[in-house]
Amino acid sequence: MTRHAHTPSGPRARLGLVVVLGPVLLVSMDGSILFLAMPSITAALSPTAGQALWVLDVYGLAVGSLLVAFGGIGDRYGRLRLLMAGAAVFGIGSAGAAFAPSPELLIAFRALMGAAGATLLPSALAVLGELFPDPGRRARAIGIFAAAFAAGFAVGPVVGGVLLGRFWWGSVFLVNLPVVALFLLLAPLLLREARTTRTAPVDIVGVVTSAGGLLLALYGVKHLAADGPSAPPVATGLLGLTVLAAFVRRQRRLEHPLVDLSLFRDRTFSLAVVTGLLPLAAWSAAAYVSAGYLQSVLGLGVLHAALLALPGAAVLTATCVATPAVVDRVGKRTALVACHLTVAGGLLLLLPVTAAGGVGWYVASTVVTGVGFGISFSVVADTAVGAVPAERAGAAGAIAETGNEIGNALGIALLGSLAALVFRLQGPGLAPTLDETLHLPGLTPAALADARTAFVTGLHAVALTAGLLHAALAATTLRLLPSPRPTPLTVAPGPRP
C-alpha cells in the first residue's frame, strides 16, 4: 500500500518531470564526464595508474552497490525526503571533488557522490509514479526518464570536453551545483512525498558485504593489471570473492533479501540483466581508452576530442527514443540480438586505428555502437520487469538498474585494467601508463613511438575482447530465448470448398 497525495497529470506534473530529470542527468553524466578530463587531472594531481582507475570507477561502484538498498530506504522513510537529501550530498561531494588537492581526496569525494547518486535514481522513478497516476502517461514519463539517463551517459564526455576547453579540471564537478540548487528550490513546490506503509527492513549486512566484496575484488584486479602478479592483490581479490560468496549465501536464506536471486532462474530475466551490464562495461571501457587515444596518442585538444563524440551521442539518444516503437514491431528477442551485434560490429571498427591516425574509424565506431547502446538502455528494464510476476517487478527493475551501474564500473576496472596490462607488457617500461611516460624528462623519440604503439595495442585488445563477448551473447540470446510465435490469422467464415 502506498500513501501519497494525489497529483494531477497536468502542467504541474510536467514541470515536476522536468525537475526530476535534473538529478537523473547528473547521476548518469557523472558516470562518464571524466573520460576526457583524466589527462588534465593526471597532469594536475599525478595519480598512480591504480588511483586513476579508482577516480573513474569508484563512482559507478558506489552507485551500483547501494542502489537496491536506497530503494528500500526510500519506500520506508519517504522517497522525496531521500531524493532531497541525496541531491544535497551530491552537491557537497561535487564541490569537494572540484577542489580536491590530492588523488586520495578526489577518490573519496567521488565515492561520496556515488553514494548520493544511489539515492536519486530509485527515488526519482518512484516520484514519477506519483506525478503520473495514469498508466499511459506514466509509461511515457518513464520513457523520457530512460532517454535522459542514456543522453547523460552519452553527452558526459562532450560536456567535460567543452568545459575543459575553457576552464580547469574542477569545472566538470562544479557544473553540478546550479542543477542541484535549482532542484532543492523547486522540488518541495512541485513534488509530493510518498512512502510504502508495509516494507521489510533493509538488509544492512547485505549492503556492507556486497559493497565490500566488490571493492576488494576490483582492487585486486586493478593492481594485478597495473603492478603485475604479487601476493597482496591476489589475496585481496580472493578475499573479495569470498565476501561476495558469503553475500550470495545470506541472500538465499533471508525472507526479504536485498537481491532476490530466484529471479535469475528465468532465462529472459537473466539475459536482460546481462544485456544491461555488458554494453555498459564495453561502452565505459571503450570511451575511457578512446579518450586517451585521441588526446595522448593523436595529440588532439580536449574540445576537438569532445566534438568527435557528438555523432555517436546523437545516434545513441535518438535510438533510445525510437526503440520502444521498433520493439513493438520486431519483438524483444530481435532487439536484444541487434543490440549485441551492433555493439560488437562497432567495437571491431576500432581495430584499424593506428598510432598515426584513425579518427574516421573512431567516429564510425561510436555511431554504430550508439545504436546498440541505445537499444540496451530502452529494452533492458522493460524486458527484465516483464519477465517476472507483477509482485516482483520492483525487485527486477532495481536489479536491472544495478546491473547497469555495476557494468559501468566493471568496464573500467576489468577492460581498463586489460589495456593497462598490455601497455605494461609491451610499452617501453619507463612508466606504468602512457600519460606518465609522456611526462618523463628526456624521453627519446623511439620510446615515445613504442609507448604510443603499446597504448593502441591495448585499445585493440579492449575492443576485440568486448566485441567477441557481445557476439557470443548475441548467439546465446538466439539460442536461449524463444522465437515469438506468429499471430494466427483470423479468416472470415465463408462457404466451404
Query: pLDDT tens, 384-437?
Result: 655 655 445 555 666 766 777 677 667 777 888 888 889 988 888 888 888 888
Residue ranges of domains in the chain: 11-193, 204-257, 277-479
Share of the chain above pLDDT 70, in %: 79
What is the pLDDT at residue 450? Answer: 93
pLDDT-based confidence at residue 11 (cuts at 50, 70, 90): confident
Cβ burial, residue 457 (10 Å; 0-12/13-18/19+): middle
**Residue with cell string 618523463:** 440
Q: Is the pTM of this model over 0.85?
A: no
Contact present, 372 and 338 (Cβ < 8 Å)? yes
Nearest CA among 302, 304, 295, 306 for reference residue 164: 302
pLDDT tens for residues 178-192? 888 888 888 787 776
CA-CA distance, 12 to 222, in Å (whole number)?
48
pLDDT-based confidence at residue 87 (cuts at 50, 70, 90): confident
CA-CA distance, 36 to 164, in Å (whole number)?
9
In this chain, the answer to whether the domains covering 11-193 and 277-479 adopt an identical fold is yes
CA-CA distance, 170 to 40, in Å (whole number)?
10
CA-CA distance, 408 to 417, in Å (whole number)?
14
Q: Which of 81-90, 206-215, 216-225, 308-317 has the weakest average pLDDT? A: 216-225
For 497, the 3-state DSSP assignment is: coil
pLDDT tens for residues 126-168? 677 667 766 556 656 766 777 777 777 767 777 777 787 778 8
For residue 381, which phi and psi values (nearest 5 degrees)? Answer: -60, -45
In the structure grid, which three cell numbers stand for residue 426, read together? Answer: 609491451
Three-class DSSP labels, 320-343: HHHHHHHHHHHCHHHHHHHHHHHH
What's the CATH code, domain 277-479?
1.20.1250.20
- Which element (helix H / strand E) includes 194? strand 194-196
Q: Is the pLDDT of residue 85 over 80?
A: yes
Contact present, 288 and 59 (Cβ < 8 Å)? no
Cα torsion for 140, 268, 61, 284, to the nearest 10°? -80
The residue ranking higher by pLDDT, 317 or 64, is 317
CATH superfamily ID and name for 11-193: MFS general substrate transporter like domains (1.20.1250.20)
pLDDT-based confidence at residue 490 (cuts at 50, 70, 90): very low
